[in-house]
Structure 1
Amino acid sequence: MTAESDYSRSVWRKSGRVLGRPWGRDFDDSEPYSDLHRTLRRRHIQMIAVCGVLGNGLFIGIGKTLASAGPLGLLIGFALTGAIVYSVLVSFGEMVALIPIAGGISAFGSRFVDDALGFALGFCYWFSLAIAVPTQVISASILLTYFQPFNPWNIDPAVLGVSFLFVIILINSFKVRVYGEIEYAFGYIKLVLVFGLIVFMFVVNRSRLPSEAGKTTIFPVNFTYWDSGVDPDYGPFRPAFYVTATHKISGATGRLLMIWTVVTQSVYSFSGTELVALTAGEAKHPRRSLPSATKQIFWRIFILYMLSAFAVGLNMYAGNSSLPSFYTPWKTFSSRDVSWSYSTASVGNCNVGTVTWLGFSGATASPWIIALQEAGLCVGAAVVVCWFVFCAWSAGNSYLYASSRTLYALAVQGKFFRVFRRCTRDGVPYVALIFTFTIGMSAFLALFPNSNAIKIYYWIRRLTSVPGTLVWAGICLSYIRFYHGLRLRTDIVQRDAPSYPYRSPFQPYTAYFGLVGCLLMVVFNDMTIFIQFEWQYLFSSYVSLVFFLLCFLSYKYWRQTKIVPLEHMDLDLGRREMDQYEAETAVERERNEKRVSRKSVWRFIKMLMV
């Protein structure tokens, strides 16, 4: 019997006792297949997260944050967001390493805080990921409008959406080991291309240096756009924080608002790093693979993001009119702004296609593309756009995987309909996968050339803006409770013991820092509404918070849940089963390690012989 099944029965019975009446019949295992398969290795886990993180948040969304904060403000904001994400990741990784179960986001919230919190975290996280799938599909479709022949081809955008969605559902239908290999290949392609693009941006910057500057240092860098002495509008920060075209805030307050804007906007770029821990239910040796994968994926992503922000700030003027504005008054949106209207434009020496769409930006708004176009590299810009399309589609592929597993975990834990527990013979939760995929069909609301349909989809998409940050806050809160509850259980291996799977640094202060940071981002996720009030933006900024609270309160009223006392926290289910699993596979694992060691020695001998 799996840990997830035991936990489902526990929640099912406890909920019945809390309500004061039995559920009629106990939770059963009548489904022929209802368990995931542990076949993912560490390399698969890392690349699943890479594919989810490296999307258009970094390549397109970074333009908006650069335009609002300047190059140095962009770097500082990314660093602060990275610190908060690191706090979340290491806290989540420690809990999952000790209790590696599927759906840890909802399971840990239920076990260590309140069952209602676990449901709200799991359901909102599933919904945000499910909506993120069509968002990436639409983004990929819009990026293709960059190519001028697109309009004469008369390709309906809905056809593109169907094509992208079909390939995504096809890949997710494979057994998880095959899916992991595909994501492994996609992830490496993304990493190589991102690193190559960063290097290429430095080459472009180097080519702009005067001839005498190249003799002064080994690797000189052109900081023209950082120097306000060259132009008063240049500099490490923007001259002022522009709320509107006429309303601006300068000085220290303006710079603080710039940095905070980057923090709140870059959350979307960092979303997906937690996918590492979501694979716990399908990891082959989770206590060995998850801790190292968690640390490695964070530093890989963080270093790439910081280098990307630095490279973009060197080659792009933050006040460039092609970059998207952070604040657009709601009254400026018209039917023309939310329809599929294609036009052509000339940027530098390049003739490109553009499309205007509410809530989305095309390739012409990307600072990477603008920098390449201004350097006259039209072919290079076109190649990079093709890569952006691949990144958007690949991110949607990872989101469908994560959202289907989250829905499966909710069903296993007794928080959702049991039918979603059903899996194929190969361990694929096909009911949860198909149901989540139907949410992805909402992309047709935006792909259909009707302004009302696109506005409806825009409001649906706003529901996904804050839940990701709320989930991060819930993870940190769960860890804080887990940390103090573990100290009361002297019969369980403690954090200072050598056999403890993974001990995250500076706890519980790291988790407190992550919790406070996430809550601040939720409350102040859009600072402009406190300066330039518009009720539409007020509603769109906090509708997802209201949605989360409705999920929490309705479940709490239905199940009559209470906060779990520290001494009654469940630290056994999942941990005991994993202890047994590790003991049973110890011989096989030791044999594999010896086999790898022999192969390494033999390769070394052959190298010496050659």
Structure 2
Amino acid sequence: MVLPPNPTTNADETRGDPAQVPRRQLEQRHIQMIAVAGTVGTALFLGSGQALSGGGPVGALLAYALVGSVAYASLCSVGEMTSLAPIPGSFAHYAHRWVDEATGFALGWIYFFTNAVTIPAEIAGAELLISYWNVNPRPYIVLILGVICLVNIFGVRYFGEVEFWLSIVKLTMIAILILISIVIDLGGAPDHRRRGFQYWKDPGPFAAGVPDGYQVLGFMSAVVQSAAAFQGIEISAIAASEAVSPRRNVAIAMKRVSVRICVFYITGIFVAGLVVPSNDPQLLQPAGNITHSNGTIERTVNASPFVIGMQNSGFGTSVVSIINAGVLSSAISAGNSFLFSGSRILYGLALRGQAPACLAKLNTRTGTSIPAVLFTSAFGFLAFLDIKNETFQWFYNMAAVGQLITWSVINFTYLRFYQGMAVQKRPRADLKYWNRLQPWLALWGLFGCIVCIFFGGYPIFLGFHKVDRPFIISYVIPSVFLIVLIGWRHLHQTQMISAAQMDFETNIPSVEDTETPEKVPSGFWAKLAYRLI
């Protein structure tokens, strides 16, 4: 017997008005590409240099493996919930519906903040990349911000198409960089020097700057950056409310994500640690000129360990320039995706009465909340703060901590969802996507996030770092999250929703309403493309 839903859980983004429902225009190819590469940006290509210099090659690899496992657990959790309820607001609404109103409010705003500050981070990264060509990057930055804003205003169809093609560029470039790095490591570069695991021995597997006796903790300095690299990997769940056959497409994306994490993230940081020493002075430094002993001047690119490895091994500037342009396209794509995610979460908050009502107005022509897009895109102008690399690192580190908080709440929400489904005797096996390893994955994801957040500022506890930026980034943001959550709960007297009263039906579209017959591809190439994307 299913008890009536708790009255506090009936708030729904759509309010029963079809005009308030975003249009379902994202196809399977859009969802799959957005899921795997939509938010791959400068945090991976540039920020991996910060992880490498902070944690060393082994420390960075361990950090990426740890955060990758947590990201996978979080994706499995949100994927299963989305398979039941592909609705606007995504996991912020799930927390509102299956935990309590205060948790949904706090999660929605922390996730909006996480995406909003990542937009200027991507733009600041793009500025670093553009400066390689020795031009004034500011006019180009204004152009980039304007383009991604217009793409989101024109509607989800244009967003999906732009992200599809840019994601193909990103995935192709990642594959090329991994292959080139392997060639460099094996001695096939122009300098013909075989490196092997040389940099694992000198300067060492962990960061050289960590005091004696604490080297094993070196990888913790790379954890925050690793979270930034994986940030937004759950975007497919947010896009589900605007996708054709959302349940089927999200299920496909979730089933393929583990392979993609291993190939593109963990393999990427592994080969980066083989071709660049962790104490290379170019890591995460501004572009500039290097004058060689023979008087020649070489232009250096910023931060990316892949490109630094190519430069150090004798590749010409033309090749480096092409790779730099590819990394720049990834920054534009990621900024576009974070603007999409942030504006959609803000739209869901507005529909639940937790943000200004004007942000909930959908444009009838594009199916997009233009006020939400404009408000979110305004954060991009923070990139014009004239503090160069500090802008890039500050924004990304803040966003990374916000991402860890988001994942922890997603996994906690799933544990409540799992309990509610069991108590109400609703079989999870009937869902389009469910994971046999649950709820253990969610427990690991929650535990991993808490550990990463708590020890993210470990230099403070060890006493060899002054309490400034690490303290602010690592512990003030979680404190603000808790204050917002407790404050809303106190002001509105909300209570935790019991498992028996959880609402799994109200305003959730049925399978018949959302799913279309699956088109089976014919021909070798069509089937190959279907399997890959």
Give yes or no for the alignment of 1:242 onto 2:215: no
SS in 2 for 1:345: strand
2:530 aligns with none
Q: Distance in 1 between matches of 2:322 and 2:526?
A: 38
Pairing of 1:184-223 with structure 2 (within 5 A): 184-207=164-187, 222-223=195-196
1:529 aligns with 460
SS in 2 for 1:83: helix
1:34 maps to a residue whose letter is: Q
1:331 aligns with none
In the TM superposition, what whole-angstrom CA distance separates every residue of 1:230-261 from its partner, at most 9, and x where no partner exists? xxx344x13x6524xxxx124xx422x12333
Pairing of 1:7-406 with structure 2 (within 5 A): 10-11=10-11, 33-148=19-134, 150=135, 155=136, 157-207=137-187, 222-226=195-199, 228=201, 233-235=202-204, 237-238=205-206, 242-243=209-210, 248-250=211-213, 253-255=214-216, 257-324=217-284, 344-346=289-291, 351-352=297-298, 363-377=301-315, 378-406=317-345
Task: Please identify, of 414-423 and 390-399, the stretch whose mean Cα deviation from structure 2 is larger.
Answer: 414-423
Cα 1:75–1:454, aligned 2, differ >3 Å: closer, same or farther?
closer
1:204 maps to a residue whose letter is: I
Using the TM superposition, give the Cα deviation of residue 407 of structure 1 relative to its aligned residue in structure 2, in angstroms: 0.6
Pairing of 1:509-520 with structure 2 (within 5 A): 509-520=440-451
Q: Distance in 2 between matches of 1:396 and 1:602?
A: 32
TM-score (norm. length: structure 2): 0.88
| Identical counterparts, % of pairs | 31
Gaps of 5+ in 2: 1-6, 528-533
Root-mean-square deviation (CA, aligned residues, Å) is 3.3
TM-score (norm. length: structure 1): 0.77
In the TM superposition, what whole-angstrom CA distance separates every residue of 1:290-322 from its partner, at most 9, and x where no partner exists? 011123234213311122122212211223233
1:472 maps to a residue whose letter is: W
2:424 aligns with 489
1:569 aligns with 502
Q: Distance in 2 between matches of 1:259 and 1:129?
A: 25
1:375 maps to a residue whose letter is: S
Q: Distance in 2 between matches of 1:443 and 1:601?
A: 46
2:488 maps to a residue whose letter is: Y
Cα 1:315–1:28, aligned 2, differ >3 Å: closer, same or farther?
closer
May I ask how many residue pairs the two structures share in their alignment? Answer: 517
Match of 1:414 among 335, 353, 374: 353
SS in 2 for 1:344: strand
1:117 maps to a residue whose letter is: T
Using the TM superposition, give the Cα deviation of residue 263 of structure 1 relative to its aligned residue in structure 2, in angstroms: 2.7
Give yes or no for the alignment of 1:435 onto 2:435: no
2:212 maps to a residue whose letter is: I
Using the TM superposition, give the Cα deviation of residue 484 of structure 1 relative to its aligned residue in structure 2, in angstroms: 0.7
Cα 1:443–1:70, aligned 2, differ >3 Å: closer, same or farther?
closer
